[in-house]
Amino acid sequence: MGRRFIERLVSPERGAVENSETFLFQQLSERREALSAAEQAFANYKTENADKLPALYSTNVTRLAAMQQKLEEKAMELATADAVFNDLRARLSSLNPVVGKLEESIVHLSGELASLRARYTDEHTEVRAVERKLKRLEEERANLLKAATAINNIDMDRLWNMAAGAVVNGEQKTTPLLLSQMQRLQEAEGRRSTLHNEVEQLRRGVDELRDGISTFAPIEQQLQKLERAVAAAREMHDLLAKRYEMARLTGSLGRYESPERIKVIDSPQEPTTPVTPGRVIFMLAGLVGGLVLGAGLAVAFEILDPRLRRQDDLEAASGLPVIALVPKAGGYVA
């Protein structure tokens, strides 16, 4: 009985503490899931944009400046290599056999024209004819040289064969100048192709870095938004975790101190004698009470009754003396 009495006294407080623990535990579980979801979203976004994080902004800007400078240097080298290649190709184009024949004809006609001018005037028909032929050959040579800037594979093979050696009057004669020029052309073409590839790679790298740098601002804003969400979720989780631990500690402390807070000084015992009076006393009290109540009611009725029963009552009520009394007659009421 004493234990039940103590439990009834402490049960409201204990119930409130237990309800607080249950509520805080549920909220803590929900906040833990929200925190995990926020952290996972933040980690996924950082993984997706690992090469565009704000921490790499200055590094990428430095890389972009270095790549742009290197691109300019390689572009200048490529322009120089193109010029060298075109110059060598123009020189080699003059080694075309048709051009060579035209050169021989031009030299022959120039000598013939000089001889004719020594004998005739410039207005002579033969002089004029040679001049026209010489002019035509020079124009043909200029057109051939202009059209020979693009050397195809067949021309290259033919020039390599010429460089290897040509049969002249039954004797094999080597052309070391042509061979050296062909080698220089090949070297120039190889360097030009290498520089062209390097320039294209650098341009693609510069474009990619520029695109990446242009996306830094929105990525940084989204990262800050996700960081704030994670910070808010972590703060709420930590707050609820502290309050839950405090509630658990309060409950444990209350359960530990409950026997000391309320003590039963005297253990309950079964009564040996009745606490209330006996039946005789109740009966006497009822009798006395009835008598007093009856007397009181009789007095009250007497006082409150307005009827006149005696002579003095009439005199008191009327204020006049009574002269005579008329007796009660049969059938009449006085």
Task: Please say whether the beta carbons of 95 and 162 come within 8 A.
Answer: yes
Between the alpha carbon of residue 18 and those of residues 11, 21, 247, 266, the distances in Å are 10, 5, 8, 31
What is the pLDDT averaged over residues 312-323?
76
Q: Is residue 136's pLDDT more than 70? A: yes
| pLDDT 10s digits, 207-251 | 887 777 766 777 778 888 888 888 998 898 898 888 888 877 776
| Residue in the structure block whose two tokens are 């009394």 | 325
Rounded to the nearest 5 percent, the helix, strand and coil shares of the chain are: 80, 0, 20
Identify the CA nearest to 206 among candidates 70, 49, 81, 57: 70
Q: Is residue 274's pLDDT more than 80? A: no
Task: Please say whether the beta carbons of 139 and 163 come within 8 A.
Answer: no
What is the pLDDT averaged over residues 261-282?
69
Between the alpha carbon of residue 299 and those of residues 290, 304, 308, 311, 316, the distances in Å are 14, 9, 16, 21, 20
Q: Which fold has domain 54-214?
A: Helix Hairpins (1.10.287)
> What CA–CA distance (Å, rounded) separates 120 from 166?
41
> What CA–CA distance (Å, rounded) separates 100 from 97?
5
- CA 113 centroid distance within chain: 87
Asked whether the whole model's pTM tops 0.85, one would answer no
> What CA–CA distance (Å, rounded) separates 126 from 216?
81
